[in-house]
Amino acid sequence: MAALRQPIHMTPVQALRKSLKDRFYPFAQARGFIRGKATSLFVPFKRVVDGNTQFFEIQWDKHHRPCFVINFGEHAGAQVSNDQLQPFGRLQRWHGGSMRTWFQTSKPWMETLRTLQWSYEPDEVVTQLMEYFPELENWWVSKQEGPHVYIWHKHIG
């Protein structure tokens, strides 16, 4: 007799990573981005537009909580090593420097009160990212900071 297989339960961070791989990676690749070699904390993407390298990376929480942020930047030239790519901005849920601004399954307090649910489903988080991503693409064209694009040097000191 064959043993019954138990469904595999994913942790919240595994479910969020899977949703990103299934939905966001193809979304980014359809926009010309090529995924680079990932680590447990960073997943890099880059493309060349008009001779400049546009790049972003998904940065995962170092404590393995279900949250991430998109670090991004641009570098003059098409032949750029990964060591030269230094991000200087973020795409996130809203402006600010705290981890609450990161994309995550945990809902903001006011939304928790309004919906009576503590967290988003992983696909909802990925949908937010995909809805905000055009602001990042607009930044590469116009250098205009949007409500979800945060440029570090403008907010330090």
Supply the mean pLDDT for the chain: 88
Inform me whether the pLDDT recorded for 16 exceeds 70.
yes
Residue 113, in any domain of the structure: yes
Does any domain span residue 64? yes
- Measure the CA–CA gap between 90 and 74, rounded to whole angstroms: 12
Cα dihedral across residues 34, 90, 87, 65: positive or negative: negative
Residue 157 has pLDDT above 70, yes or no: no
Q: Is residue 7 part of a domain?
A: no
How many domains is the chain partitioned into structurally?
1
Q: How confident is the model at residue 132 (pLDDT cuts 50, 70, 90)?
A: very high
Q: Is residue 55 part of a domain?
A: yes
Note the pTM of the prediction, 2 decimals.
0.86
Q: How far apart are CA 120 and CA 19, in angstroms?
A: 12
Residues 47-56 have pLDDT tens digits of 999 998 999 9
DSSP 8-state class, residue 83: G
Q: Could you count the other beta carbons within 10 Å of the beta carbon of residue 95?
A: 16
Q: Say how far apart CA 19 and CA 68 lie, in whole Å.
A: 13
What pLDDT shows up at residue 4?
A: 57
Which residue type occupies 72?
A: F
Q: Residue 32: its pLDDT value, please? A: 97
CA–chain centroid gap for 130, Å, is: 9
Per-residue model confidence (pLDDT) at position 84: 64
User: Would you say residue 93 lies in a domain?
Assistant: yes
pLDDT higher at 81 or 149: 149
Domain extent for 41: 12-154
- Residue 129 placed within a domain: yes
User: Domain for residue 42, yes or no?
Assistant: yes
> Taking a C-beta distance cutoff of 8 angstroms, is the pair 147, 131 a contact?
no
pLDDT digits (tens, 9 = 90+) for 71-125: 999 988 767 666 667 778 999 998 888 888 999 998 887 877 787 788 889 999 9
Please check whether residue 78 lies inside any domain of the structure.
Answer: yes
The pLDDT of residue 120: 87
